[in-house]
Amino acid sequence: MAVLAGGAVRRPSRFRHWRQWVTAYWFLAPWLIFPLVFIAGAIVLAFYFSFTSYDLLSDPVFIGLANYQKAFQDESFLHALRNVATYTAVVVPSQTFIGLVMAAILDQKLPFRRFFRIAWYLPCVASSVVTTLIFMWLFLPDGFINAALNFVGINVRINWLGDEATALPSIMFMNIWATAATFMLIFLAALQDVPGPIYEAANLDGAGPIRQFFQITIPLMRPAIFLVVLLGTIGCFQLFDQVKIATNGGPNEATLTVTYLLWRQGFRDLNMGYASALGVILFVVIFAVSLVQRRFLDVKPDY
């Protein structure tokens, strides 16, 4: 590289702050070492192992793209992808709509608002293990869900989580119950940002509350709706806890998800290479879906 006349002048100034740099790295280092190893390092290893066959007992063997080829011929994986797609298609719109309605209710100046907000938020803060155990119990053939249905005159004794037809819908139901309020909070924050004068103008024009909601509130909330749909989709694609605890992917793979298959391949069957490849595919799928959603949903509101 050529040394210019000015370089000699600039050079000392570039390193003038070196003491502060060193201090800054001292502040950063104790934390940064962990993400360097367990995020950055792990991402590199995930790619590396996805090209290998590795069972923990013998050394990893490089097998190129074979794991990826295997995935797209693996009936279980394709089935898991279909399950997750169905699950996402039902859960994301439901929890977005319910979250929005909950936020709209809380945004009214109702009495006991603080109580409602805490009460509605409790399903989101209990651990996935607790909520899953509770619903496993409620979903028993002799449980409260069947009892409630019988009470209103539908005489059934369904084994909700044990029946192939109802297992996935049951998990959908419990997750909508457990997550709707998280999204409600995001909507609530966004609702409070909608300028008041717009509603006053709409009132003067004679628009009713329902019309105001659909023609003013929802269009102005598009960024929040995008965020909720994005976070919801990412969450749905990662569905694991409920499946692991309640159904183990069954009955007959009816609730098999990509993450559960990844766990089963990696930590039950010790196919570390194949499990890594499934992880990389999951990442690519989530990334692609969020790009598509950004294309269609992420529009700045125009006032």
Partner 1 sequence: MVTVARAQTLEMQRPRLRFRISRVIFLVLALVVTALALTPFILTVSGSFKTKSEILDWPPTIIPRIFEWMNYVEVWTNSHYFPQWIVNSLFLAGFHLLIYLGICSAAGYAFARLRFPGATVLFLAILGSIMVPGQVLWVPKFLIINQLGLVDNLFGIALPDLAEVFGVFFMTQFFKSLPKELEEAASIDGASTFRTFRQIILPNAYPALAALSILRFQGEWNAFQWPLIVVRSPDHLTLPLGLASFQGLFGVNWNWVLAGAMFNAVPIILLVIFFQKYFIRSAASSAVKG
Residues 205-264 that bind partner 1 (CB under 8 A): 206, 208-209, 223-224, 226-227, 230-231, 234, 237-238, 240-241, 244-245, 259, 262-263
**In angstroms, what is the minimal distance from the CB of 128 to partner 1?**
6
Read off the tokens for 66.
């074979």
Q: Does 283 bind partner 1 (CB under 8 A)?
A: yes
When the beta carbons of 41 and 195 are compared against partner 1, the nearer one is 41
When the beta carbons of 217 and 290 are compared against partner 1, the nearer one is 290
Q: Does 276 bind partner 1 (CB under 8 A)?
A: yes
Q: Does 186 bind partner 1 (CB under 8 A)?
A: yes
List 2, 4, 13, 31, residue binding partner 1 (CB under 8 A): 31
Give the gyration radius of the chain's Cα atoms. Answer: 26
List 119, 154, 201, 292, residue binding partner 1 (CB under 8 A): 119
Q: Does 296 bind partner 1 (CB under 8 A)?
A: no
Q: Does 110 bind partner 1 (CB under 8 A)?
A: yes
Q: Does 41 bind partner 1 (CB under 8 A)?
A: yes
When the beta carbons of 5 and 84 are compared against partner 1, the nearer one is 84
**In angstroms, what is the minimal distance from the CB of 171 to partner 1?**
15
The per-residue DSSP string of the chain comes to ----HHHHHHHHHHTTTHHHHHHHHHHHHHHHHHHIIIIIIHHHHHHHHHTEE--SSS--EE-TTHHHHHHTT-HHHHHHHHHHHHHHHHHHHHHHHHHHHHHHHHHS--TTHHHHHHHHHHHHHS-HHHHHHHHHHHTSTTSHHHHHHHHTT------GGGSTTTHHHHHHHHHHHHHHHHHHHHHHHHHTTS-HHHHHHHHHTT--HHHHIIIIIHHHTHHHHHHHHHHHHHHHHT--HHIIIIITT-STTTT--HHHHHHIIIIIS--HHHHHHHHHHHHHHHHHHHHHHHHHH------
List 59, 75, 142, 302, residue binding partner 1 (CB under 8 A): 142
CB 242 within 8 A of CB 84: no
List 68, 74, 79, 120, residue binding partner 1 (CB under 8 A): 120
When the beta carbons of 5 and 127 are compared against partner 1, the nearer one is 127
List 13, 20, 73, 155, residue binding partner 1 (CB under 8 A): 20
Read off the tokens for 156.
């059934």
Q: Does 201 bind partner 1 (CB under 8 A)?
A: no
List 7, 11, 43, 165, residue binding partner 1 (CB under 8 A): 43
Q: Does 27 bind partner 1 (CB under 8 A)?
A: yes
Read off the tokens for 231.
């976070």
Quick one: which segment of 80-88, 163-171, 194-202, 280-288 binds partner 1 (CB under 8 A)?
Answer: 280-288
CB 213 within 8 A of CB 168: no
List 2, 9, 56, 152, residue binding partner 1 (CB under 8 A): 56
Kindly report the backbone phi and psi dihedral angles of residue 241, in degrees, each rounded to the nearest multiple of 5, phi listed first: -50, -50
List 128, 159, 212, 293, residue binding partner 1 (CB under 8 A): 128
Tell me, rounded to whole angstroms, the distance of Cα 283 from its chain centroid.
12
**In angstroms, what is the minimal distance from the CB of 52 to partner 1?**
11
